[in-house]
């Protein structure tokens, strides 16, 4: 995958930093002394080259400007790529399972098929139980749910529920 770079934002920020530096009657060499960064690093930032957040913050602090003030720029705010319907539904599915956990649904032992059936009935959606199984396993590995075997089926129960 190609490295992401928002050239418009970097150029805009670089020009703002340069303008603040000039307004403060400072040379690049002054910022070098104030930040401990190299001349090329400061010059690259002002010219819109890629930088780290730490360098950006350091230059802002040297100029006496809070980084959020420097970032107060009008941008067309949108993600590089839209979320696919499939990915969006998986995110929603995770949240819906989290909601079931918080509601006490898993205070009783539940199988993947039970959870899938419940979610399909409530939300009128069509998805595979393997998607639910992956999410339940993730909740089990993060110690939110306990998982036990009943025959060849996994059974999930809320971690906070005592089992005897």
User: Most distant CA pair in the chain: distance in Å?
Assistant: 76
At 2 the pLDDT is 67
Q: Does residue 79 belong to any structural domain of this protein?
A: no
pTM exceeding 0.75: no
DSSP string of 73-91, one letter each residue: -------SSPPPHHHHHHH
Tally of domains in the chain: 2
The reply to whether 66 and 99 lie within a common domain is: no
At 162 the pLDDT is 62
Q: Does residue 163 belong to any structural domain of this protein?
A: no
CATH of the domain at 20: 1.10.260.40
Residue-wise pLDDT for 127-159, tens only, equals 788 889 999 999 999 989 999 999 999 999 998
Give CA–CA dist 153/41, Å, rounded.
58
At 88 the pLDDT is 78
Beta-bridged to residue 156, according to DSSP, are 110, 147
Distance of CA 1 to the CA centre of its chain: 18
Structural domain for 20, as ranges = 7-70
Residue-wise pLDDT for 92-130, tens only, equals 888 999 999 999 999 999 999 999 999 988 887 777 888
Q: Where are the alpha helices (DSSP H) in the chain?
A: 7-23, 28-35, 39-46, 53-63, 67-70, 85-103, 112-123, 129-141
pLDDT band at 4 (very low <50, low <70, confident <90, very high): confident
């Amino acid at each position: 995958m190609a490295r992401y770079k928002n050239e418009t934002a970097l150029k805009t920020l670089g020009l703002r930093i340069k303008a603040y530096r000039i307004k403060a009657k400072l040379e690049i060499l002054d910022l070098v002394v104030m930040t401990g960064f190299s001349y090329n690093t400061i010059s690259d930032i002002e010219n819109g080259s890629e930088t780290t957040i730490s360098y950006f913050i350091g230059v802002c602090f040297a100029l006496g400007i809070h980084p959020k003030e420097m970032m107060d720029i009008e941008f067309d705010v949108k993600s590089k790529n839209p979320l696919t319907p499939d990915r969006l539904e998986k995110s929603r599915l995770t949240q819906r399972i989290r909601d079931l956990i918080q509601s006490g649904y898993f205070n009783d032992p539940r199988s993947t098929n039970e959870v899938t059936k419940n979610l399909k009935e409530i939300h009128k959606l069509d998805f595979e139980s393997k998607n639910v199984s992956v999410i339940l396993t993730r909740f089990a590995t993060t110690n939110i749910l306990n998982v036990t075997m009943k025959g060849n089926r996994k059974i999930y129960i809320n971690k906070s529920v005592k089992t005897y």
